[in-house]
Amino acid sequence: MRERYFGSLVGLAVGDALGTSLEFQTPGTFSPLTDLVGGGPYRLAPGQWTDDTSMALCLAESLVERSNFDPEDQLRRYCRWFREGYLSSTGACMDIGNATRLALMRFEQSGTLEAPPDPLSAGNGSIMRLAPVAMAYARRPREAIALAMASSRVTHGADEAADACRYLAGLLVGAIRGASREELMGDRYTPVTGLWEEEPLAPRIADIASGSFRRKEPPEIRGAGYVVHSLEAALWAFFRGRSFREGALLAVNLGDDADSTGAVYGQLAGAFYGEPGIPPEWRGRLAHLDLIRSLAGRLHDLAWRRGPSGLPARPSAGMR
């Protein structure tokens, strides 16, 4: 199981770094990407990553250092990234989304811990950073899914954004715990039996959960910043690909918000394939790999200290 933890957080960062080369590029206007090459609008070196990974690392660090889910602490760390470039691959904040910027400024001005439920804030800025929540609470699936919603609402209060996080958290927990591809890609997957009947998903997220990504191809599949498009694109790439590399390239070659599509894909694919399934030449070029792996290991240890609830979990090799 430990390699799935490393895989999820490293996979998020690899997908982000891979996709930054094509960020803001219109589909059909570029040659397909085949490797981790850097560049893009921020002229990054191969393996450097953007806001997706910075915010995921802030969230991971908060969870392990507080040993709890603390929205105020999360926001303080996000603000350090925003103002000081904390946990950035370049030492500076880059690529911050509008909804995130507004939420952090509201927090600085008034201490507000939750963004308003504005449907126009249904971007992918909360789903792109989600993995640490599922990792920290993987032995408590119901809690993982509830806190995924809470983690969204600190910056993205729209129901679609929050429910995209709920659904992806369920997939991440399932992948970490060893669910098969068929299970994960089946209709309305959840590690908590009957949850989507008890607590229904927003209609467009429910459509994705029912397999919309299995019935579509580009240009219906879009790597855009709207959370519905982003989640659907990442799941399409995971469903179509048969390796981390193949799916990652499918995801980022959709263009548009390619780094975030890559990050959402990478969280899930990394948890499913484990760290060894991520191309070693991509891992080897990743900025701050040791830090990312350290936080992933600490999230694993936190989950095991916290104890199980619900489904039984297999012990990891390091805990046997």
The pair phi, psi for residue 99, each rounded to 5°, is -65, -40
3-state secondary structure string, 100-155?
HHHHHHHHHHHCCCCCCCCHHHCECCCHHHCHHHHHHCCCCHHHHHHHHHHHHHCC
CA–CA dist 291, 295 (Å, integer): 6
Q: What is the mean pLDDT of the chain?
A: 96
pLDDT in tens, 108-124: 999 999 999 999 889 99
pLDDT in the model for residue 309: 62
Range of the domain at 314: 2-319
pLDDT in tens, 236-253: 999 999 999 999 999 999
pLDDT in tens, 201-247: 999 999 999 999 999 999 999 999 999 999 999 999 999 999 999 99
Which CATH number is 209's domain given? 1.10.4080.10
What average pLDDT score do residues 54-73 get? 98
Please work out, in degrees rounded to the nearest 5, the angle formed at the alpha carbon of residue 124 by the alpha carbons of 2 and 92: 80
8 A C-beta contact, residue 232 and residue 212: yes
| Helical spans, DSSP H, in the chain | 2-19, 51-66, 71-84, 98-110, 131-136, 141-153, 159-176, 181-185, 195-198, 203-209, 227-240, 244-252, 258-273, 280-285, 289-306
Structural domain count of the chain = 1
pLDDT in the model for residue 316: 35
Give residue 238's identity as a one-letter amino acid code: F
136-151: buried (b, 16+ CB within 10 Å) or exposed (e) per residue?
bbbbbbbbbbbbbbbb
pLDDT in tens, 137-191: 999 999 999 999 999 999 999 999 999 999 999 999 999 999 999 999 999 999 9
